Structure 1
Amino acid sequence: MIALLVITFGAGASQAQTKPSYTLQGTVISALDKKPLQAVSVRVDADQVKSSTKKDGSFSITVPHRNGIVKFSFVGYKTVELDYTAGAPLHVQLTPLENQLDEVEVVSKGYQKIPKERATGSFVQIDNKLFK
């Protein structure tokens, strides 16, 4: 009985290892300055496979299917979805988003004295009696 269980589980394990796998490779660069982008998210949603690009913009990911759709996303850039065929390297250019802030200016930290005429909203000064 034990020998039968070992043979059954052993056969299942060997069948799982014979599934074909393919390698999807490529590089991701910025369309603006043609420089490689590091840490771009590379996802094949259908197969639940994800990775990210290296310092030189390259990626290599193992996928179970020869063909499919791969998604590239990076903060500040438009997300791109492409069809892939394993074995053919992908060269992807990501376009920066147009409506990004160039500069942020801090107007008030909340610690300055503003005259009542200029202040908006309501406020109260907490004294010792109100605090207790």
Structure 2
Amino acid sequence: MRVDVYNGDKSEHLGEGVYSEEADVHVIEMPDGTLSSLENAEAPPDASLIPEGARVLVVKDNPKIVLDDGRVVYGCQVWWHPIFTDEVSQRVEEMTDTVSNALLPFLKEFSDQRVQEFLLQEILEGIRNKFIEINQ
């Protein structure tokens, strides 16, 4: 499936690519609650890269995307969406907006905005994936 990809804060368009598979990725949760990952998020980080008080989380079935320029990114690192016809795109946008608005009050209990955004992104990706599966 073709996808359009932006960096984690949506400030840079990374390009288009292909959702190639789902992969288990490693995310480092810092003591302050912020999250990070290696460029190759499938590789477990070396113990020397994990700050004291941080922990490594394994996120199962995370989208692996190969951009047209050959770079590989993961769903936990970027914002992405499938490239659909205009009609289907409109339906997906409406659905994700509705879900986002419904979830925001519940996500507010996480004080770190990056954690809120990460959780929301993971939930929306799951919904998009199910929508794609149903409409293929």
TM-score by length of 1: 0.23
TM-score by length of 2: 0.22
The structure carrying a bigger helix percent of its residues is 2
Larger Rg: 1
